Amino acid sequence: MEEHVVLSIAGIGALAIACQWFAWWVKLPAILFLLLSGIFVGPVLGLLHPDALFGELLFPFVSLSVAVILFEGSLTLKFSEIAGLERIVRRMVTSGLVVTWAVAALAAYTLLNFPLELALLFGAFIVVTGPTVIVPLLRTVRPTAHVANILRWEGIVIDPIGALLAVLVFEFIISGQGGEALGHTLISFTRIIGVGVVIGILSGQFLGLALRNHWLPEFLHNVATLALVFTVFALSNVVEAEAGLLTVTVMGIRLANMRNVSVEHILDFKESLSVVLISALFIILAARIDFTQLQALGWGALGILAVIQFVARPVKIALATWGSSLRWQERALLAWIGPRGIVAAAVAALFSLRLQAAGYPQAELLVPLTFMVIIGTVVLQSATAGLLARALGVAEPEPRGFLIVGANPVARVIAHALLKRGYNSVLCDTTWANVSAARMHGLTTFYGSAVSEYADRSLDLIGLGRLLALSPQQELNVLAIHRYRREFGDSHLFALQASEAAVNSKQTTPLPAGNVAFGDDVTYERLANALGMGAEIRETALTENFDFDAYHRRHYKKAIPLFAVDPKERLYILTPGYKVKPGPGWTLLSLVEPKEAERLAAETAATEPDADESA
């Protein structure tokens, strides 16, 4: 018996990792494969029986998992970001959310004869989209920047707001069960809100002060945060039944909006933990689905899916974009893309269990109905959104921008030279001084590690087609090459050697031979020293009389060729052995020593006055 339990839990973990890996490989939301796998090993094959496996621990496991998921989601909700959002996004997460809620609830009430309270709860479940399903879809569809930014911010902001709505609707249902008078129901509801808000704010404030004043050592930050989430969740439920989820949501919001409190490392930890919990949770819950429940839903479930896809979403977008400058093609794509995701499934599973225990027999249908909507929207939109974007003419052309790892002086100079040639870049760095200096020079930045889960969640890759790793840490450059291989393709990944010592050291991970930028003898150390001595990036036009070989002979070791631009304005990164051979009509971008730069400018001015100019 014990071996069977261990084998089942290990199998869930292995299956979860396999689903996450396959989703990464095909660039689709992992939730789709997790749910399908759970259904396959559960009701189809009969290999997994969650109720028998976990027994009475199933309900507490689901409750604590949802608490962590909601806390992690609420950590991304910052009031400063909401205040700065465009009017369209604000409408989408306010009035648009209400429209989706009302239409979905009405559909469940009329098509499936759900009781009004369950219909309202189902409507609250499916108002959310979430970045975990939107971001992989956007990377495949590659819509215009307007559409991509709107969808991305909608997913980030609506996740905790939608979860909070579901919590409040559920609390209202529970507080009014048993036919109690409306006045008593409202009192109970108010008490739940009061307990959740008060304990949530106090606990968030306490944790924020502990982090700000360094009351905890660094290695305890993540574990202490997790323990506090569990504690306040349990405490709130003891003080007032069903107030725990609201408490952890408010706690996360309060912590995210405290001044001088960094939550990025906690968010990264919670993201990792959420991946584990979500993966296991979806497989377990999908394995509990009974096909008789799906049969009980009948054709009405497909009708609800159609209403959500073809009525609720278009009406929401029409309302949110009214009077905006968006073209009708962009509005049409926004009206089509709105897949449901993690929070919808997790909250539906939790509240379904609780409502069944509270005496609502039809509550068992909430999970299969929500899962059907999730699978239906993800499959339908993943298969068609790219075709629709191209047909409407709102898909981005081939991306030509650069994701640059590092915002150090070398990276800033190179990014500035690329910008002058019309190539945008996003510079990623964990050092605020570097990021601040890059922003002062008008460069786009991302404050954080390019290979972190925070970047997976927040880094916008729209318009970026190549990676240029320019960090002085060779291990980071190598890691970036492997991390972005799927996004950009192997031929679009380039990294700079860190130093001569790193090149010759057996302890340092070497860069893949085909991904070395600029040259085998060109290192970050060499470029940084040259810049420190006053070197500049210069542009030089090649001609029949002054070709690349002549340039190389004349300026050998005094100029480092970095990029070449062909007559059609296509930019190439020069690599060891110069696989790309620039010819007449091309332009070279090289880092040139100060005296050599003066000589080059004088020579060029004597022959072709406009051929060389400072970058």
For 4-58, give the secondary structure using H, E and C: HHHHHHHHHHHHHHHHHHHHHHHCCCHHHHHHHHHHHHHHHCCCCCHHHHHHHHH
CB 262 within 8 A of CB 211: yes
151 and 232 co-located in one domain? yes
Compute the distance between CA of residue 282 and CA of residue 342 in angstroms, rounded to an integer: 9
Q: What is the pLDDT of residue 470?
A: 92
Contacts of 39 (CB under 8 A, 6+ apart): 286, 287, 289
Distance in angstroms (rounded) separating the CA atoms of residues 469 and 472: 9
Instruction: Examine the domain organization and report whether 128 and 144 are in the same domain.
Output: yes
Write the burial class of residue 432 (CB in 10 Å: 0-12 exposed, 13-18 middle, 19+ buried). Answer: exposed
Residue that is written with structure tokens 């004349």 in the block: 554
Tell me phi and psi for residue 557, to 5 degrees. 65, 0
Q: Check whether 157 has a pLDDT greater than 70.
A: yes
Report the alpha-carbon angle 27-33-36, nearest 5. Answer: 155
For range 213-230, the mean pLDDT: 88
Residue 597 sits in the same domain as residue 526: no
Give the whole-angstrom CA distance, residue 458 versus residue 519.
32
* Helix pair angle (299-307, 366-392), 10° resolution: 40
- pLDDT higher than threshold 50 for residue 611: no
Last residue of a domain, one of 507, 530, 553: 530
Structural domain including 420 reads 397-530
What pLDDT is attached to residue 610?
46
According to DSSP, residue 77 is labeled -
What pLDDT, in 10s, does the model give residues 292-327? 777 778 888 899 999 999 999 999 999 999 888 888
161 plus 236 within the same structural domain: yes
Which residue(s) pair with 587 in the sheet? 541, 565
In this prediction, residue 433 has a pLDDT band, given cuts at 50, 70 and 90, of: very high
Q: Say which residue, 478 or 358, is predicted with more confidence.
A: 478
The confidence score (pLDDT) of residue 534 equals: 86
Residue 608 has pLDDT above 60, yes or no: no
For 22-31, letters b (16+ CB in 10 Å) and e give: ebeeeebbbb
Instruction: Please indicate, yes or no, whether residues 157 and 61 belong to a single structural domain of this protein.
Output: yes
Identify residue 176 by its one-letter amino acid code.
Answer: G
Spatial separation of the C-alpha atoms in residues 320 and 314, rounded to whole Å: 10
Share of residues in the chain with pLDDT > 70 (%) = 89
Residue partners of 299: CB distance under 8 A and separation at least 6: none
Q: Say yes or no: 246 and 358 in one domain.
A: yes
Domain count, the chain: 3
Tokens 């709107």 belong to which residue? 150
CATH number at residue 476: 3.40.50.720
More confident residue, 186 or 240: 240
Does pLDDT of 568 surpass 60? Answer: yes
| DSSP string over 497-510 | B--HHHHH-SSSPP
pLDDT of residue 411: 94
Average pLDDT over residues 394-422: 88
| Sequence-ordered list of residues with C-beta below 8 angstroms from that of 529, at least 6 positions apart, any chain | none
Q: Please tell me the predicted confidence (pLDDT) of residue 604.
A: 56
Mark which of 351, 375, 392 sits at the end of a domain: 392
Q: What is the pLDDT of residue 467?
A: 92
pLDDT of residue 345 exceeding 90: no
Are 335 and 479 in the same domain? Answer: no
**173: buried, middle or exposed (CB in 10 Å: 19+, 13-18, 0-12)?**
buried
**What was the pLDDT predicted at 598?**
57
Q: Which of 501, 530, 559 corresponds to the end of one domain?
A: 530
Report yes or no: 375 and 404 within 8 Å, Cβ to Cβ.
no
Classify 427 as helix, strand or coil: strand
Angstrom distance (rounded) from CA 391 to CA 74: 36
Q: Tens digits of per-residue pLDDT, 586-607?
A: 988 988 877 655 565 555 555 5
- Domain CATH number, residue 318: 1.20.1530.20
* Residues 6+ positions from 482 with CB-CB distance below 8 Å: none
Q: Give the angle subtended at the CA of 525 by the CAs of 523 and 527, to the nearest 5°.
A: 70
Are 368 and 252 within one domain? yes
Segment 57-73 mean pLDDT: 80
The percentage of residues in the chain with a pLDDT greater than 90, rounded to a whole number, is: 22
Same domain, 101 and 51: yes
**Which has the higher per-residue pLDDT, 509 or 181?**
509
**Do 329 and 454 belong together in one domain?**
no
* CA geometry: angle 45, 50, 54, nearest 5 deg: 150
Q: What is the mean pLDDT of the chain?
A: 83
Kindly report the pTM of this predicted structure: 0.65
Res 613 pLDDT > 50: no
Mean pLDDT computed over 245-266: 83
pLDDT confidence tier of residue 122, bands split at 50, 70 and 90: very high
Q: Which helix (H) or strand (E) holds 591?
A: strand 587-592
Q: What is the mean pLDDT of residues 372-384?
A: 86
98 and 7 inside one domain: yes
Structure tokens at 594: 């100060």
Residue 267 and residue 187 share a domain? yes
Looking at the predicted structure, is the pLDDT value of residue 252 above 70?
yes
User: Do 85 and 307 contact (CB within 8 A), yes or no?
Assistant: no
